[in-house]
Amino acid sequence: MKRVFSGIKPTGHLTLGNYLGAMRRWSAVDQHEADALFCVVDLHALTVDHDPGRVRRLSRQAATLLLATGLDPQLCTVFVQSHVDEHARLSYLLECVATDGEMRRMIQYKEKAAAERARGGSVRLSLLTYPVLMAADILAYGTDEVPVGDDQTQHVELTRDVAVRFNQRYGRTFVVPRTTHPEVAARVMNLQDPTSKMGKSDDVGPGVVYLLDEPEAVRKKIMRAVTDSGSEVVHDREARPGVSNLLEILAACEGGNPNDLAGVYETYGSLKKDTAEAVVEFLRPVQQRHKELCADPAYVEGVLREGAEKAREMARPRVDAAYRAIGLLPAG
């Protein structure tokens, strides 16, 4: 059976972008078809200025939401990254395989480092080495497929390069993984600025739909989405980014294809209205289940404890093998 691994950072409240770009496939497809692991990657949340209490709360919330979207601990493994030492242990070895130049070429690093400097802050070293930790997350489990949104493609490419290099130098140790993206909505855009990604660490903006937003808030945000000049409803990401984003969101929630849906609508107003209702209905069962799970924190804790135990057992032999292959003396 193929192995699937993916992760989500507790750096903000989870968004519709996270759901449509990644999480939806995890529960609908991956957990049924693969031996799948889904991880709240909390170590990655420490790469930028952070508040310890908030990271802790968001980690718990992300895990609860993963279960609320339908991940079933009988079918897959749900856990928190920092509960499994093998990630950090392997990350160091991969730092000895990846290069400084490769790290500095990462788009996400360049963007986030520039933003941090513009704010007058300093850039944490871990922001630079982040992709290596992500590679360790993936490679520790012999992962075949990594289901992620569009923005993670470059990081998975780097993971492949590092795996191939390690295998060539030290003997075959790692599986070389590939990325999978959803057919639509691999990159959900900010409703107020449809040329940039809907990101959860953005300001609590009117352009970001959060999974736990009340129906009224969802409606308001979508009805106020920035659309393009012109009035024709067409799917063209370059020329009409605003309308195209709405068509993709609608297609992702209702099924269907954004090009076909474009033909159904005469006005932006009716497209917005239907998109708003589709998103509200789409989120309703997730929010309901989230509420139930919040009433039973011991259940969520139990899932995470067992998940970490399972993950540890899966990762340890491969990480131990990597330690031996690279030339470190076994402890005996």
Q: Which residues are annotated as catalytic?
A: 112, 197, 200
* For ligand TRP, the closer CB: 146 or 304: 146
Select the binding partner of residue 17 from ligand AMP, ligand TRP, none (C-beta < 5 to 8 A, by kind). ligand AMP
Q: Residue 241 has which token pair? A: 């980014």
CA distance 187 to 17: 7
Task: Report how many residues bind ligand AMP under the rule CB under 6 A.
Answer: 17
Per CB under 6 A, does 61 bind ligand TRP? no
Per CB under 6 A, does 161 bind ligand AMP? no
Beta-carbon count within 10 A of 148 CB: 22
Contact 79, 307 (CB under 8 A): yes
Q: Which residue(s) pair with 77 in the sheet?
A: 37
Per CB under 6 A, does 86 bind ligand TRP? no
Q: Which of 39, 162, 198, 319: binder of ligand AMP (CB under 6 A)?
A: 198
DSSP 7-43: EE--SS--BHHHIIIIIHHIIIIIHHHSEEEEEE-GG
Alpha carbon separation from 138 to 45, 88, 134, 230, 310 (Å, rounded): 17, 12, 6, 45, 15
Per CB under 6 A, does 61 bind ligand AMP? no
| Residue 199 CB, nearest approach to ligand TRP (Å) | 10
Per CB under 6 A, does 290 bind ligand TRP? no
Contact 54, 13 (CB under 8 A): no
95 burial (CB, 10 Å; 0-12 / 13-18 / 19+) is middle
Select the binding partner of residue 200 from ligand AMP, ligand TRP, none (C-beta < 5 to 8 A, by kind). ligand AMP
Select the binding partner of residue 197 from ligand TRP, ligand AMP, none (C-beta < 5 to 8 A, by kind). ligand AMP
Binding mask 113-152 vs ligand TRP (x if CB under 6 A, - otherwise)?
Answer: ---------------------x--xx-------x-x---x
For ligand AMP, the binding residues (CB under 6 A) are 8-9, 17-18, 21-22, 148-149, 151-152, 186-188, 197-200
